[in-house]
Amino acid sequence: MRLSAPIYHLKRKAKRLSREEGIPLHDALDRIATTEGFSAWSLLAAKAAAETPAGKLFSQFRPGDLVLVAARPGHGKTLMSLELAVEAMRSGSHAAFFSLEYTEGDVLDRLRAIGVDPAQFDNLFEVDCSDEISAEYVVKRMAPVPRGTFVVIDYLQLLDQRRENPDLSVQVRALKSFARDKGLIVVFISQIDRSYDPSTKPCPDLSDVRLPNPLDLKLFDKTCFLNNSEVRFRAAS
């Protein structure tokens, strides 16, 4: 069943209905769900999540997975990673976003851009934009988190930019081991090499990942490549 509008528009409609009629928000949400053909908002939300690219992808992730999300600039790799984190939090898991690229305000603004109020997940979502981010730093920060926590690292090619940090390959292997031991899902956002030509193939692949330093890309259990509206997901055989 197709919704009449994106789910975040329906949420706004419910909030407006709640204010105008003086009813609890959960009742307003259920009333909106009824107009869309669902008996409760929870059923509508579950259906909507399952039909989004992020929802479909997230359903294929398992604790211990190391995932690569890659695209050219402006083609949605950060938003996709955040949408996946939102799916994790909607399922009740914690999520953390480590960024060497953005400020915390930038990250929260991007959540709002996909129709998510950061306050909705206040106790489940952590943003860390420290200049100290490395595999060792992430391991220390994530040591206390529960199994199933969804971790995003923004981005792969910046992890070893500081000379005192270990080689990229060493850091990725350390995070892979940590993810498996702790039962976490760890996503690396990645750049695509400038040589990638979208006119010759609709979506980049592993051969197009920009690697200024050596890294065995077979370390990743799953990959997701984006280009415009094209999404290519692959699980390691």
Supply the mean pLDDT for the chain.
Answer: 92
Which pTM does this prediction carry?
0.80
Q: Does the N-terminal peptide bond of residue 137 adopt cis geometry, omega within 30 degrees of 0?
A: no
| Domain spans of the chain, in order of start | 7-51, 54-235
- Provide the pLDDT confidence category of residue 114 given band limits of 50, 70 and 90: confident
Task: Output the pLDDT for position 8.
Answer: 67
54-235: what fold? Rossmann fold (3.40.50)
Helix locations, the chain, DSSP H? 7-21, 25-35, 41-51, 53-58, 77-90, 104-113, 135-142, 168-182
Dump the DSSP string for 37-80. T-SSHHHHHHHHHHHSHHHHHHTT--TT-EEEEE-STTSSHHHH
Residue 7 has pLDDT above 90, yes or no: no
133-147 in b/e form (b: 16+ CB < 10 A) is bbbebbbebbeebee
Q: What is the maximum span of the chain, computed from C-alpha positions, in angstroms?
A: 60
